[in-house]
Amino acid sequence: MNVKLFGEFFVTLLVIVDPPGMVPVFLGLTGAMPAKARNRAATQAVLLALGVIVGFAVAGQTLLDYLHVQLPALQAAGGLLLVLVALQLLTGKTDEPAEQGGTSNVALVPIGTPLLAGPGAIVATMLYVQRAESADEYLVLAAAIFAVMACVWLVLRFSGGIVRLLRPAGIEVLTRIAGLLLAAIAVQLIADAINAFVKSYSALP
């Protein structure tokens, strides 16, 4: 087993996904849920993120090439989606779809993607897959992905203790903070995408 490759990819992906940084956003979106529903949301979010990252690892470059989509475009799309979610958190209107009988599930969007399986995680995974040269190295990368997702699940699964400490008023404050953090993440994603587009087109003859 290539321990160096495992450690390098594991640390890279873990830093990008940032489980501790996900806690306030996760609690801001799920803090009002019962404990069982919140735990189920954690599991659903991690499973979706795992599926998306593995899917892009296997066929991401082929899919983007087929659709003529550049990676910065994917990054900008994720940023725009996060802007909408951040506005909902900041205005306190996150429960409207459920009240109207909709099927929105915050565990899937935005937690599963684009927060956990976002452009950064997808791009990093695709780059490491392109570097792999043997079946053993592909298995090492797969093991690292599963290990990172296991860490994320543990952090989200046991974040319920924070909910008991914060009480409803604290959760409401945390929701607003999470909205502000999401807005900042969204703006950074869009800015990075614009910067990448400018660099790519300025390099053309």
Question: What pLDDT sits at residue 94?
Answer: 53
Give the contacts of 170 (CB within 8 A, at least 6 positions apart). Answer: none
The answer as to whether 205 is a domain residue is no
* Cα-based distances in Å from 154 to 88, 104, 140, 173, 191: 27, 24, 21, 24, 32
The model carries a pTM of 0.76
pLDDT at 96: 43
pLDDT of residue 123: 84
3-state secondary structure of 100: coil
- Establish if 19 belongs to a structural domain: no
Question: Does the residue 165 lie in any domain?
Answer: yes
Q: How confident is the prediction along the chain (205 residues), in pLDDT tens digits per residue?
A: 689 999 999 999 998 888 888 888 898 888 788 989 999 999 999 999 999 999 999 998 888 889 888 878 888 888 888 888 788 778 866 544 444 333 458 889 889 988 899 888 998 898 899 889 899 999 999 999 999 999 999 999 988 777 777 777 777 787 788 788 878 888 888 998 899 889 888 876 6
Q: Encode burial over 142-171: b for 16+ CB neighbours within 10 A, e otherwise.
A: eebbeebbebbbebbeebbebbeeeeeeeb
CA distance 67 to 124: 20
| Total number of domains in the chain | 1
pLDDT at 100: 38
Structure token digits, residue 171: 């959760």
Among candidates 15, 4, 204, which has minimal Cα distance to 124?
15
CA distance 128 to 149: 17
Torsion angle, alpha carbons of 90, 17, 19, 48, to 10 = 80
In a domain, 22, yes or no: no
Q: What is the pLDDT of residue 93?
A: 64
Give the pLDDT score at 101.
Answer: 38
Residue-level pLDDT at 38: 92
Kind plus residue range of the DSSP H or E element containing 122: helix 119-131
Q: Is 135 contained in some domain?
A: yes
CA 86 to each of CA 29, 113, 171: distance values in angstroms, whole numbers, following the listed order: 10, 14, 15
For residue 112, give the nearest of 42, 160, 182, 171 by alpha carbon. Answer: 42
Cis bond before residue 110 (omega within 30° of 0): yes
